[in-house]
Amino acid sequence: MTSSKRNGPEHLRADAEGRLRTGTAPVSAGWTVGAEALSLLYRLASDPNSSANAQKLLHELQTHQVELDLQHAQLAENEHELALQLANYECLYNHAPAGYLVLDPNGRILRSNRTASELFGLDADQLEDKMLTSLLSPESRSALQTALKDAGIGKATEAIQVQALDSRPLGLLAGMAPGKDAVLVMVFPERPTQGG
C-alpha cells in the first residue's frame, strides 16, 4: 500500500512533490500536456517578466502529472487486489462443503455452486432457471414454500428436512440476501431420522 492510500488524498500532493525532488516519480501512464498548454508555457518562459510564473506553472503541471500517475498506479493496484479477493470468494463459494443456491424471490435458481449441482445430480447450467421446488419430492414442496416465504419477509428460519426427487433426505436453510433481491439457500445431505 502506498502512503497516499493510507493517508488519503491530502498527502498526494506532498508525495508527488517529494518524488519530483528525488527523481522517483513513476513513469507517466500516458497523460500528456496539450500543445496549447506547452505553447503558452513557452511564451511565458520566453518573457523575462513572466518566466518566474512559467516555472511555477511548469512545477504545477509536473506535480499534477505525478499525482495523476500515482492515482493511476493506486487504482491499478486496487483493481488487482479486488480481482484476487473475488477469485478467492468464488473459489470458497464453488468448493464449499454445502450446496449454495441463489434464488429469485419466486424460488427460481439464479446461481448454484458445485456441491449443489452434485446434490441434485445436475450441472450448474442445468440448475440455472429451474424452480427449486421442481427438484424436490412433492411432499417437500410446501415446507420449501413456507421456508422461502419466511426468508422473504426476513423471518429467521431453522433448517428443515426435505427430500430430493430420488427420496434422499436433504437439509435446507433459507435466508434473505442483504440486498433483499434474492434468497440464499444452503442445502446439505441429511441423515434419515430414526424410525423413518
Query: Domains (ranges, CATH) in the chain?
Result: 3-93 (no CATH), 95-189 (3.30.450.20)
pLDDT of residue 7 exceeding 60: no
So what's the pLDDT on residue 3? 44
So what's the pLDDT on residue 33? 57
Strand partners, 102: 111, 184
Question: Cell 480481482 belongs to which residue?
Answer: 83
pLDDT of residue 38 exceeding 70: no
What global pTM score does this model have? 0.64
Average pLDDT of every residue of the chain = 84
Host H or E run for residue 100: strand 99-103
Give the Cα separation of 14 and 168 in Å (integer).
66
Q: Using one digit for the tens of pLDDT, what is the confidence trace for 98-145?
A: 999 999 988 999 999 999 999 999 998 999 999 999 999 999 999 999
Asked whether 51 and 59 are in contact (CB, 8 A), the reply is no
Mean pLDDT of 65-82: 90
Angle of the 35-46 helix axis to the 51-94 helix axis, nearest 10: 150
For 44, the grid coordinates are: 511565458
So what's the pLDDT on residue 28? 65
pLDDT of residue 72 exceeding 70: yes
**How is residue 49 annotated by DSSP?**
T
pLDDT greater at residue 76 or residue 7: 76
pLDDT of residue 31 exceeding 70: no
For 48, the grid coordinates are: 523575462
